[in-house]
Homo-oligomer: A and B are copies of this chain.
Amino acid sequence: MTHVLVTGGAGYIGSHACKALKAAGYTPVTFDNLVTGWQDAVKFGPFEQGALSDRARLDEVFATYKPVAVMHFAALSQVGEAMSQPGLYWRNNVEGSLTLVEAAVAAGCLNFVFSSTCATYGEHDNVVLDEDTSQIPLNAYGASKRAVENILRDFGAAYGLNHVIFRYFNVAGADPEGEVGEHHRPETHLIPVMLEAIDGKRPALTIHGSDYDTPDGTCIRDYVHVMDLVDAHVLGLKWLEEGKGSRVFNLGTGTGFSVREVIDASRAVTNREVPHSEGPRRAGDATKLVSGSSRAAGELGWTPHRSTMPQMIADAWQWHLHGHYDH
Protein backbone atom coordinates (compact mmCIF):
# COMPACT_ATOMS: atom_id res chain seq x y z
CA MET A 1 0.00 0.00 0.00
CA THR A 2 1.16 3.50 -0.82
CA HIS A 3 0.54 5.59 2.25
CA VAL A 4 0.13 9.34 2.35
CA LEU A 5 0.21 11.04 5.73
CA VAL A 6 -2.72 13.47 5.94
CA THR A 7 -2.54 15.88 8.86
CA GLY A 8 -5.93 17.32 9.69
CA GLY A 9 -7.50 14.40 7.84
CA ALA A 10 -10.46 14.52 10.24
CA GLY A 11 -11.25 18.07 9.21
CA TYR A 12 -13.32 19.52 6.39
CA ILE A 13 -10.82 19.66 3.54
CA GLY A 14 -8.57 16.90 4.89
CA SER A 15 -11.42 14.37 5.00
CA HIS A 16 -12.39 15.13 1.41
CA ALA A 17 -8.72 14.78 0.43
CA CYS A 18 -8.64 11.34 2.07
CA LYS A 19 -11.60 10.30 -0.05
CA ALA A 20 -9.89 11.56 -3.23
CA LEU A 21 -6.62 9.87 -2.28
CA LYS A 22 -8.35 6.54 -1.72
CA ALA A 23 -10.14 6.88 -5.07
CA ALA A 24 -6.74 7.50 -6.69
CA GLY A 25 -5.27 4.31 -5.21
CA TYR A 26 -3.43 5.71 -2.20
CA THR A 27 -4.04 4.85 1.45
CA PRO A 28 -4.51 8.05 3.46
CA VAL A 29 -3.25 7.92 7.05
CA THR A 30 -5.08 10.57 9.05
CA PHE A 31 -3.05 12.32 11.76
CA ASP A 32 -5.30 14.62 13.75
CA ASN A 33 -5.58 15.84 17.34
CA LEU A 34 -9.41 16.04 17.07
CA VAL A 35 -9.42 19.56 18.51
CA THR A 36 -11.41 20.78 15.52
CA GLY A 37 -11.65 17.50 13.57
CA TRP A 38 -14.17 14.65 13.78
CA GLN A 39 -13.31 11.00 14.24
CA ASP A 40 -16.49 10.20 12.29
CA ALA A 41 -14.94 11.89 9.26
CA VAL A 42 -12.08 9.36 9.14
CA LYS A 43 -13.48 6.79 6.70
CA PHE A 44 -10.88 6.09 4.07
CA GLY A 45 -7.80 4.76 5.89
CA PRO A 46 -6.12 4.37 9.27
CA PHE A 47 -6.39 6.98 12.00
CA GLU A 48 -3.56 8.08 14.28
CA GLN A 49 -4.48 10.58 16.94
CA GLY A 50 -1.72 12.99 17.84
CA ALA A 51 -0.49 16.55 17.99
CA LEU A 52 1.97 18.15 15.57
CA SER A 53 3.94 19.43 18.54
CA ASP A 54 4.65 15.82 19.58
CA ARG A 55 7.76 14.97 17.62
CA ALA A 56 8.10 11.46 19.08
CA ARG A 57 4.55 10.62 18.02
CA LEU A 58 5.23 11.94 14.51
CA ASP A 59 8.42 9.90 14.26
CA GLU A 60 6.48 6.79 15.27
CA VAL A 61 3.83 7.40 12.60
CA PHE A 62 6.43 8.00 9.89
CA ALA A 63 8.21 4.79 10.93
CA THR A 64 4.99 2.74 10.95
CA TYR A 65 3.60 3.77 7.56
CA LYS A 66 6.63 5.00 5.61
CA PRO A 67 4.42 7.45 3.69
CA VAL A 68 5.51 8.59 0.23
CA ALA A 69 4.26 12.09 0.96
CA VAL A 70 2.70 14.38 3.52
CA MET A 71 -0.45 16.39 2.88
CA HIS A 72 -0.55 18.99 5.61
CA PHE A 73 -4.03 20.38 6.29
CA ALA A 74 -3.96 20.63 10.10
CA ALA A 75 -4.26 24.24 11.22
CA LEU A 76 -6.33 26.70 13.12
CA SER A 77 -8.07 28.81 10.49
CA GLN A 78 -10.40 31.41 11.97
CA VAL A 79 -9.48 35.00 11.25
CA GLY A 80 -11.41 36.38 14.23
CA GLU A 81 -9.69 34.01 16.64
CA ALA A 82 -6.33 34.79 15.00
CA MET A 83 -6.86 38.50 15.63
CA SER A 84 -7.70 38.04 19.31
CA GLN A 85 -5.30 35.17 20.11
CA PRO A 86 -2.37 35.49 17.71
CA GLY A 87 -0.02 33.44 19.90
CA LEU A 88 -2.26 30.42 19.40
CA TYR A 89 -1.79 30.72 15.63
CA TRP A 90 1.95 31.20 15.77
CA ARG A 91 2.32 28.21 18.12
CA ASN A 92 -0.11 25.84 16.45
CA ASN A 93 0.30 26.68 12.82
CA VAL A 94 3.94 27.69 12.61
CA GLU A 95 5.66 25.77 15.39
CA GLY A 96 3.48 22.70 14.72
CA SER A 97 4.31 22.79 11.00
CA LEU A 98 8.01 23.25 11.73
CA THR A 99 7.98 20.11 13.88
CA LEU A 100 6.16 18.19 11.14
CA VAL A 101 8.59 19.37 8.46
CA GLU A 102 11.58 18.42 10.61
CA ALA A 103 10.07 14.97 11.24
CA ALA A 104 9.37 14.47 7.52
CA VAL A 105 12.94 15.38 6.57
CA ALA A 106 14.35 13.15 9.32
CA ALA A 107 12.21 10.25 8.03
CA GLY A 108 13.35 10.86 4.45
CA CYS A 109 9.80 11.68 3.35
CA LEU A 110 10.63 14.51 0.94
CA ASN A 111 7.30 15.11 -0.84
CA PHE A 112 5.12 17.64 0.91
CA VAL A 113 1.79 19.19 -0.10
CA PHE A 114 0.75 22.22 1.96
CA SER A 115 -2.58 23.99 2.43
CA SER A 116 -1.92 27.68 2.22
CA THR A 117 -4.35 30.47 1.62
CA CYS A 118 -5.08 33.57 -0.39
CA ALA A 119 -5.12 35.30 3.02
CA THR A 120 -1.34 35.36 2.63
CA TYR A 121 -1.74 38.03 -0.08
CA GLY A 122 -3.55 40.61 2.04
CA GLU A 123 -5.14 43.68 0.49
CA HIS A 124 -4.41 44.48 -3.15
CA ASP A 125 -6.90 46.95 -4.57
CA ASN A 126 -8.35 46.09 -7.98
CA VAL A 127 -5.80 43.41 -8.65
CA VAL A 128 -6.45 39.82 -9.50
CA LEU A 129 -4.04 37.76 -7.49
CA ASP A 130 -1.56 35.42 -9.06
CA GLU A 131 1.20 33.42 -7.42
CA ASP A 132 3.74 36.23 -7.85
CA THR A 133 1.62 38.84 -6.09
CA SER A 134 3.31 40.24 -2.98
CA GLN A 135 2.25 38.47 0.17
CA ILE A 136 1.35 41.04 2.82
CA PRO A 137 -1.09 39.21 5.09
CA LEU A 138 -3.49 41.28 7.20
CA ASN A 139 -3.88 38.90 10.11
CA ALA A 140 -2.08 36.24 12.14
CA TYR A 141 -3.84 33.45 10.23
CA GLY A 142 -2.43 34.64 6.90
CA ALA A 143 0.92 35.50 8.50
CA SER A 144 1.20 32.03 10.05
CA LYS A 145 0.49 30.36 6.70
CA ARG A 146 3.02 32.57 4.93
CA ALA A 147 5.60 31.67 7.58
CA VAL A 148 5.03 27.96 6.87
CA GLU A 149 5.47 28.62 3.15
CA ASN A 150 8.82 30.20 4.02
CA ILE A 151 9.78 27.21 6.17
CA LEU A 152 9.06 24.89 3.25
CA ARG A 153 11.16 27.02 0.91
CA ASP A 154 14.01 27.08 3.44
CA PHE A 155 13.85 23.30 4.02
CA GLY A 156 13.58 22.78 0.28
CA ALA A 157 16.86 24.65 -0.23
CA ALA A 158 18.62 23.02 2.73
CA TYR A 159 17.38 19.41 2.55
CA GLY A 160 15.72 18.89 -0.82
CA LEU A 161 12.19 18.86 0.58
CA ASN A 162 9.99 19.01 -2.53
CA HIS A 163 6.81 20.89 -1.86
CA VAL A 164 3.64 21.92 -3.58
CA ILE A 165 1.94 24.88 -1.93
CA PHE A 166 -1.74 25.44 -2.69
CA ARG A 167 -3.15 28.86 -1.88
CA TYR A 168 -6.85 28.30 -1.44
CA PHE A 169 -9.48 30.86 -2.15
CA ASN A 170 -12.83 30.22 -0.38
CA VAL A 171 -13.58 26.53 -0.16
CA ALA A 172 -17.24 25.47 -0.20
CA GLY A 173 -19.56 22.57 -0.92
CA ALA A 174 -19.36 18.97 0.23
CA ASP A 175 -18.93 15.43 -1.02
CA PRO A 176 -22.01 14.92 -3.24
CA GLU A 177 -22.13 11.28 -2.10
CA GLY A 178 -22.62 12.52 1.46
CA GLU A 179 -19.81 10.52 3.07
CA VAL A 180 -18.05 13.66 4.38
CA GLY A 181 -18.97 17.31 4.67
CA GLU A 182 -18.31 20.59 6.43
CA HIS A 183 -18.81 20.91 10.16
CA HIS A 184 -16.89 23.48 12.18
CA ARG A 185 -17.33 24.39 15.81
CA PRO A 186 -18.04 27.30 15.72
CA GLU A 187 -19.04 27.59 12.08
CA THR A 188 -17.66 30.75 10.52
CA HIS A 189 -17.68 29.99 6.79
CA LEU A 190 -20.25 31.98 4.86
CA ILE A 191 -22.22 29.26 3.10
CA PRO A 192 -22.79 26.86 6.04
CA VAL A 193 -23.57 29.83 8.29
CA MET A 194 -26.12 30.98 5.72
CA LEU A 195 -27.67 27.52 5.52
CA GLU A 196 -27.96 27.36 9.32
CA ALA A 197 -29.69 30.74 9.26
CA ILE A 198 -32.07 29.57 6.53
CA ASP A 199 -32.86 26.53 8.62
CA GLY A 200 -33.42 28.50 11.82
CA LYS A 201 -30.43 26.91 13.54
CA ARG A 202 -29.01 30.37 14.20
CA PRO A 203 -30.87 33.67 14.42
CA ALA A 204 -29.57 35.44 11.32
CA LEU A 205 -26.50 35.85 9.18
CA THR A 206 -24.47 38.97 9.92
CA ILE A 207 -22.86 40.65 6.93
CA HIS A 208 -19.50 41.90 8.21
CA GLY A 209 -19.35 45.27 6.50
CA SER A 210 -21.50 46.65 3.69
CA ASP A 211 -19.44 49.76 2.98
CA TYR A 212 -16.56 48.17 1.11
CA ASP A 213 -15.52 49.61 -2.22
CA THR A 214 -17.36 46.94 -4.25
CA PRO A 215 -20.48 47.22 -6.45
CA ASP A 216 -22.85 46.20 -3.64
CA GLY A 217 -20.62 47.19 -0.70
CA THR A 218 -19.92 43.65 0.53
CA CYS A 219 -16.66 41.72 0.33
CA ILE A 220 -15.90 39.69 -2.78
CA ARG A 221 -14.46 36.20 -2.66
CA ASP A 222 -13.58 33.47 -5.15
CA TYR A 223 -15.24 30.16 -4.25
CA VAL A 224 -13.97 26.72 -5.15
CA HIS A 225 -15.74 23.40 -4.58
CA VAL A 226 -13.99 21.18 -2.06
CA MET A 227 -14.13 18.20 -4.45
CA ASP A 228 -12.34 20.21 -7.13
CA LEU A 229 -9.87 21.46 -4.54
CA VAL A 230 -8.89 17.98 -3.40
CA ASP A 231 -8.59 16.82 -7.03
CA ALA A 232 -5.85 19.42 -7.33
CA HIS A 233 -4.11 17.89 -4.33
CA VAL A 234 -3.96 14.48 -5.98
CA LEU A 235 -2.53 16.15 -9.08
CA GLY A 236 -0.02 17.95 -6.85
CA LEU A 237 1.02 14.67 -5.29
CA LYS A 238 1.57 13.14 -8.74
CA TRP A 239 3.54 16.24 -9.75
CA LEU A 240 5.89 15.61 -6.81
CA GLU A 241 6.10 11.86 -7.47
CA GLU A 242 7.10 12.65 -11.06
CA GLY A 243 9.99 14.75 -9.71
CA LYS A 244 8.73 18.04 -11.09
CA GLY A 245 9.98 19.96 -8.06
CA SER A 246 8.58 22.65 -5.79
CA ARG A 247 5.79 24.93 -6.99
CA VAL A 248 3.08 27.26 -5.72
CA PHE A 249 -0.46 27.14 -7.16
CA ASN A 250 -3.49 29.29 -6.51
CA LEU A 251 -6.72 27.31 -6.28
CA GLY A 252 -9.65 29.49 -7.27
CA THR A 253 -11.91 29.81 -10.29
CA GLY A 254 -11.17 33.44 -11.11
CA THR A 255 -14.79 34.49 -10.55
CA GLY A 256 -15.68 36.65 -7.58
CA PHE A 257 -18.97 36.65 -5.68
CA SER A 258 -20.00 39.30 -3.19
CA VAL A 259 -21.66 38.28 0.07
CA ARG A 260 -24.98 39.57 -1.27
CA GLU A 261 -24.58 37.50 -4.43
CA VAL A 262 -24.00 34.37 -2.36
CA ILE A 263 -27.13 35.19 -0.33
CA ASP A 264 -29.13 35.58 -3.55
CA ALA A 265 -27.81 32.28 -4.90
CA SER A 266 -28.66 30.49 -1.64
CA ARG A 267 -32.19 31.82 -1.79
CA ALA A 268 -32.51 30.54 -5.35
CA VAL A 269 -31.07 27.08 -4.62
CA THR A 270 -32.94 26.41 -1.38
CA ASN A 271 -36.06 28.34 -2.28
CA ARG A 272 -35.98 29.74 1.24
CA GLU A 273 -35.39 33.23 2.61
CA VAL A 274 -31.96 33.99 4.12
CA PRO A 275 -32.38 35.93 7.39
CA HIS A 276 -29.56 38.43 7.55
CA SER A 277 -28.50 41.74 9.04
CA GLU A 278 -25.68 44.16 8.39
CA GLY A 279 -22.92 44.61 10.94
CA PRO A 280 -19.60 46.45 11.07
CA ARG A 281 -16.51 45.36 9.20
CA ARG A 282 -14.47 42.59 10.76
CA ALA A 283 -10.82 43.37 11.44
CA GLY A 284 -8.44 41.49 9.17
CA ASP A 285 -10.79 41.10 6.17
CA ALA A 286 -9.61 42.13 2.71
CA THR A 287 -12.07 43.80 0.32
CA LYS A 288 -11.63 41.44 -2.59
CA LEU A 289 -9.78 38.18 -3.06
CA VAL A 290 -10.04 36.65 -6.52
CA SER A 291 -7.53 34.39 -8.21
CA GLY A 292 -6.05 35.65 -11.45
CA SER A 293 -3.95 32.61 -12.14
CA SER A 294 -4.22 29.89 -14.75
CA ARG A 295 -1.13 28.09 -13.47
CA ALA A 296 -2.96 25.15 -11.88
CA ALA A 297 -4.95 24.64 -15.09
CA GLY A 298 -1.94 24.99 -17.36
CA GLU A 299 0.71 23.11 -15.40
CA LEU A 300 -1.23 20.60 -13.28
CA GLY A 301 -4.03 20.08 -15.77
CA TRP A 302 -6.56 20.98 -13.09
CA THR A 303 -10.13 21.55 -14.23
CA PRO A 304 -12.73 22.48 -11.64
CA HIS A 305 -15.96 20.66 -12.55
CA ARG A 306 -18.30 21.44 -9.66
CA SER A 307 -17.27 24.97 -8.70
CA THR A 308 -20.36 26.83 -9.84
CA MET A 309 -22.08 28.77 -7.08
CA PRO A 310 -25.44 26.89 -7.41
CA GLN A 311 -23.65 23.50 -7.31
CA MET A 312 -21.56 24.43 -4.27
CA ILE A 313 -24.63 25.64 -2.41
CA ALA A 314 -26.70 22.63 -3.48
CA ASP A 315 -24.03 20.18 -2.27
CA ALA A 316 -23.59 22.09 0.99
CA TRP A 317 -27.37 22.14 1.46
CA GLN A 318 -27.65 18.35 0.97
CA TRP A 319 -24.96 17.84 3.59
CA HIS A 320 -26.66 20.35 5.86
CA LEU A 321 -29.95 18.45 5.58
CA HIS A 322 -28.70 14.87 5.67
CA GLY A 323 -25.11 14.71 6.95
CA HIS A 324 -23.73 14.99 10.43
CA TYR A 325 -20.93 13.88 12.71
CA ASP A 326 -21.50 12.81 16.29
CA HIS A 327 -17.86 12.57 17.40
Contact = CB atoms under 8 A, between A and B. Distances in A.
19 contacts: A82-B154, A83-B157, A83-B158, A84-B158, A86-B151, A86-B154, A86-B155, A87-B98, A87-B101, A87-B102, A87-B155, A95-B95, A134-B134, A135-B136, A143-B153, A143-B154, A146-B150, A147-B150, A157-B283
Interface in A136-193: 136-137, 139-140, 143, 146-147, 150-151, 153-155, 157-158
Contacts of A136: 134-135
Given A134-B136, A137-B150, A158 B98 contact: no
A158 B86 contact: yes
A136 B150 CA distance: 10
A326 to B, nearest CB: 34
A90 B98 contact: yes
A155 B143 CA distance: 12
Given A82-B154, A90-B154, A140-B150, 18 more contacts: A83-B158, A84-B158, A86-B155, A86-B157, A86-B158, A90-B98, A90-B151, A94-B94, A95-B95, A134-B134, A134-B136, A139-B154, A143-B153, A143-B154, A146-B150, A147-B147, A147-B150, A157-B283
Interface of A: 82-87, 89-91, 94-95, 98, 101-102, 134-137, 139-140, 143, 146-147, 150-151, 153-155, 157-158, 283
Contact of A94 (B84, B102, B147, B283): B147
How many copies make up the complex? 2
Contacts of A143: 147, 150-151, 153-154
Nearest to A102: B87
Contacts of A86: 151, 154-155, 157-158
A81 B157 CA distance: 12
